[in-house]
A = this chain, B = another copy of it.
């Protein structure tokens, strides 16, 4: 790198003004075709690198979109991110990613960073306990915000997520239909809207079937394989002897199945297990996991689309967008075994 090539370097070498060069490189119709070609060739020849900071300082558009989720390592979010990435890529936006691990502080720090960088907008799955001010921090500073996966009551921010109550009811009804009566619900928390909705979906489905709801059968816990794995002991030693488990998500379900196998039982025969999300992994688990598709790809795609539209100036009127989950029946659930 001999020396920094900038617009003026090109301009001087060609005897035109920087204005012309700037215009030419961005295909403005104001500059003559021949000039444009000459300029583009020269730019290439000199190895010109567009300086976005300078441009963005001038235009106050950065081409950067921030994305915050709980944990990108969690395949559920990873699948959403994949969809966001592909949509943003198509629109030549750079995206900056961060985990908040449900730390409100880490989330705020990240939002502040985005503000400092002049991010054009942000897509976030808010950390548990996010104060209202933080949620609006971006929006109030001119950075449009879209929520995904988790929603916040009474807030006018576009939100995209699966219909949890409906989805869990699908899974619960499936088990009830197979004859199960003692059904536990494993994993997750009741501190998020998602958590409350899911529990509600489970409760409603049981009630509608005339099955009494026993709060002891609700075993909250980490939303990970490890969490499901560790819940197995507790689950198997319950005096109520549940014959089936509705799990918070696929990870918990797979962990639970591993735990059940360790105990010498066969999931999908001795115990029925449902997952939630339908991760890529669900279909190759052993036994293949009966689960509920939670629309990750749709959530990601639609959220990104919504943000891009908003940036382009369009104004949507609806805030909450619920994606309808769908049942995926595989081998981890079976009719209640006569014992």
Determine if B53 and A117 form an interchain contact, defined as CB atoms under 8 angstroms apart. yes
Find chain B residues with CB under 8 A from A99 CB: 85
Determine if A118 and B262 form an interchain contact, defined as CB atoms under 8 angstroms apart. no
Find chain B residues with CB under 8 A from A118 CB: 51-53
Given A280-B226, A281-B225, A286-B262, do A141 and B96 touch, yes or no (CB 8 Å)? no
CB distance from A331 to the nearest CB of B (A): 10
Chain A interface residue count, Cβ-Cβ cutoff 8 angstroms: 45
State in angstroms the CA–CA spacing of A72 and B54 once bound together: 30
Residue A294 interfacial (CB < 8 Å): no
Determine if A258 and B284 form an interchain contact, defined as CB atoms under 8 angstroms apart. yes
Selected contact of A53 from candidates B53, B112, B284, CB within 8 Å: B53
Residue A56 interfacial (CB < 8 Å): yes
Residue A115 interfacial (CB < 8 Å): yes
State in angstroms the CA–CA spacing of A112 and B62 once bound together: 15
Determine if A94 and B94 form an interchain contact, defined as CB atoms under 8 angstroms apart. no
Contact with B along A192-227 (1 / 0, CB 8 A): 000000000000000000000000000000000110
Residue A255 interfacial (CB < 8 Å): yes
Secondary structure at chain A's binding surface: helix, strand, loop or mixed? Answer: helix
Selected contact of A229 from candidates B96, B258, B284, CB within 8 Å: B284
Find chain B residues with CB under 8 A from A258 CB: 284-286
Residue A312 interfacial (CB < 8 Å): no
Given A117-B94, A141-B49, do A73 and B82 touch, yes or no (CB 8 Å)? yes
Residue A242 interfacial (CB < 8 Å): no
CB distance from A119 to the nearest CB of B (A): 10
Residue A91 interfacial (CB < 8 Å): no
CB distance from A21 to the nearest CB of B (A): 16
Determine if B78 and A1 form an interchain contact, defined as CB atoms under 8 angstroms apart. no
Find chain B residues with CB under 8 A from A229 CB: 284
Contact with B along A175-189 (1 / 0, CB 8 A): 000000000000000
Given A49-B116, A49-B141, A62-B53, do A261 and B286 touch, yes or no (CB 8 Å)? yes
| Contact residues, A70-110 vs B (CB, 8 A) | 72-73, 75, 78-79, 81-82, 85, 94-97, 99
| Contact residues, A121-178 vs B (CB, 8 A) | 140-142
Find chain B residues with CB under 8 A from A285 CB: 258
State in angstroms the CA–CA spacing of A54 and B117 once bound together: 9
Residue A35 interfacial (CB < 8 Å): no
State in angstroms the CA–CA spacing of A82 and B71 once bound together: 10
Residue A50 interfacial (CB < 8 Å): yes
Residue A17 interfacial (CB < 8 Å): no
CB distance from A101 to the nearest CB of B (A): 10
Find chain B residues with CB under 8 A from A81 CB: 72-73
Q: Quick one: closest B residue to A284, CB to CB?
A: B229
Find chain B residues with CB under 8 A from A56 CB: 53
Residue A57 interfacial (CB < 8 Å): yes
Find chain B residues with CB under 8 A from A75 CB: 73
Residue A28 interfacial (CB < 8 Å): no
Binding site for B on A (CB under 8 A): 1, 49-54, 56-57, 62, 64, 72-73, 75, 78-79, 81-82, 85, 94-97, 99, 112-113, 115-118, 140-142, 225-226, 229, 255, 258, 261-262, 280-281, 284-286
